Amino acid sequence: VPAVPLPREFYDRDTRRVARALLGKILIRREGRRHLTGRIVETEAYLGTDDAAAHSAPGITARNRVIFGPPGHAYVYFIYGNHYCLNVNCLPEGQAGCVLIRALEPLTGLEQMARNRGLALDHKAVETHAPRLLRQLTTGPGRLCQAFAITRERDNGKDVTNARSDLTIADDGFRPRRVLTTPRIGITKSADEMLRYLIEGNPFASGVMNKR
C-alpha cells in the first residue's frame, strides 16, 4: 500500500477532471496498524452553484461548508436516514465542487469490511458466492462508507492529503484501460448531465453491466 497520499494540487482543478483522475486510485482507512484499502472504480462529479443536483447549489450552509473550503477534504453527509456518502472537495477555497465516491474494488481488510457491513465472510462463503458477496462490501456509496466505518461525525472535513490522517487516497500506479461516462445515478435534478465515471468492465461498479 502506498504511504504517500495524493497531494492537495491533485484536487485543485476542475471537478470533472478530478472525478476521472480518481478512478484507479486507492482509498485507505487506517485503524492503528491495520489498513482497509479499496480501488476507486466509480465516481460522480458535483459542480458548484450552477449544478442543481449538487448540495452546494444553494450556496454555503452549515451542512455543505466543506465543499467551499480548501481542496482535498472529505465531505461526508447522511442520507435517507440510513446511509453516509463520501465526497472529496475540489477547486480552491471559495469555489464549490466535489466528487462522490460511488464504488470500490476491495483490496485488503476484506474480513473487517464484512464485519463492518454485518455480513458473514468465511472461506466457504467466499468459495461458493465470491462475486456476489464481494460486491456487497463496497459497491454503492452507502455500502462503502459502512465497510470503511466512514461517518459524518468522524470524517466530515478530514484532510485526505495528510499522511497522518486515518483516511487518505493514494496512487499505486494503476491506470484504467478505458473510462466510461454516463448520467449520474439516483438524482432528479440535472439528471442528463454526463458526470458519472467508471472503469469499463470493472465488476465492482454499481448498476447492471456497468450501465444504468
Partner DNA sequence: TTATAGATTGCCT
Partner DNA sequence: GGCAATCTATAAT
Whole-number minimum distance, CB 177 to DNA, in Å? 25
CA separation for the pair 47, 63 (Å, rounded):
16
Identify the CA nearest to 140 among candidates 70, 60, 44, 66.
44
Identify the CA nearest to 155 among candidates 105, 84, 107, 93.
84
Q: Which residues bind DNA (CB under 7 A)?
A: 44, 46, 53-56, 58, 61-64, 67, 75, 77-83, 85, 87, 98, 100, 117, 136, 140-144, 184-189, 206
> Computed from CA positions of residues 86, 90, 95, 96, in that sequence, does the dihedral angle turn out positive or negative?
negative
CB nearer to DNA: give 107 or 185. 185
**Cβ proximity of 157 and 173 under 8 Å:** no
Whole-number minimum distance, CB 8 to DNA, in Å? 20
CB nearer to DNA: give 1 or 79. 79
Whole-number minimum distance, CB 143 to DNA, in Å? 4
**Cβ proximity of 40 and 22 under 8 Å:** yes
CB nearer to DNA: give 23 or 67. 67
Whole-number minimum distance, CB 159 to DNA, in Å? 18
